[in-house]
Chains A and B, each alone.
Chain A
Amino acid sequence: QQPVQSPQAVILREGEDAVINCSSSKALYSVHWYRQKHGEAPIFLMILLKGGEQKGHDKISASFNEKKQQSSLYLTASQLSYSGTYFCGTLDLTGNQFYFGTGTSLTVIP
């Protein structure tokens, strides 16, 4: 039931790009992305809805392939402030079950 994220951890230098994947075994209606910095609450990034959506703001974007039940988060030209743990959250077709993914720790170094 819990979505699986990959990679588990990644270290980038400033300016490099990263892709974080989220894969579910269940059919999904929506995928949510959150970022959590150490010691802080998770912060909402974006929602992608059924229909093969793509979204983005600034240098962070995401796609949702409902047929594959997968979503990817793209971080381009990473900044130090991007460091944290990224979680996807998935909502199933009933709209009743929401689960967070396994998490991806991202560290951006100068």
Chain B
Amino acid sequence: EAGVTQFPSHSVIEKGQTVTLRCDPISGHDNLYWYRRVMGKEIKFLLHFVKESKQDESGMPNNRFLAERTGGTYSTLKVQPAELEDSGVYFCASSHRTGFVDEQYFGPGTRLTVT
């Protein structure tokens, strides 16, 4: 079974540019999460999709970040325009929740560097 995949693995952009990150969850997983880890610090929650709906987007830092999940399959996270503080590793995770058991499988992450 294929795991969670993310693309690209690494992106270097200049301040003010736009970047779009993609996440393909494990097939059949309705739950999809985006997280960000900055400078080796804690993993910060960004948002949670259930199928194509945003269940919780309380972690999105500001309106420069836009996440979508087309048809409840893959998801994209767009940063426009990018700022220096957006640098970090963006992880996507998916799960098939059974009640309150939510074992999340993580993708390898996208390392974003804004210069």
Tell me the A residues contacting B by CB distance below 8 Å.
Answer: 2, 29-30, 32, 34, 36, 40-44, 47, 49-50, 85, 87, 89, 91, 95-103
Q: Enumerate chain B residues within 8 angstroms of A43, measured Cβ to Cβ.
A: 106
Closest chain A residue to B45, Cβ basis: A99
**In the complex, which of the residues B55, B56, B103, B108 contacts A47, with contact meaning CB atoms closer than 8 Å?**
B103
Closest chain A residue to B37, Cβ basis: A36
CA distance A50 to B74 in the complex (A): 32
Known: A87-B42, A100-B42, A101-B42. A32 touches B104 (CB 8 A): yes
Q: Does B102 contact A (CB under 8 A)?
A: yes
- B49 CB → nearest A CB, Å: 13
Tell me the B residues contacting A by CB distance below 8 Å.
Answer: 4, 33, 35, 40-45, 48, 55-56, 58, 91, 93, 99-109
Residues A40 and B103 in contact, CB atoms below 8 Å apart:
no
Known: A87-B43, A100-B45. A44 touches B103 (CB 8 A): yes
Residues B102 and A42 in contact, CB atoms below 8 Å apart:
no
Residues A100 and B102 in contact, CB atoms below 8 Å apart:
no
Q: Enumerate chain B residues within 8 angstroms of A34, measured Cβ to Cβ.
A: 106
CA distance A29 to B4 in the complex (A): 26
CA distance A51 to B55 in the complex (A): 26
Q: Enumerate chain B residues within 8 angstroms of A42, measured Cβ to Cβ.
A: 43, 91, 93, 106
Known: A41-B109, A42-B91, A96-B56. A103 touches B43 (CB 8 A): yes
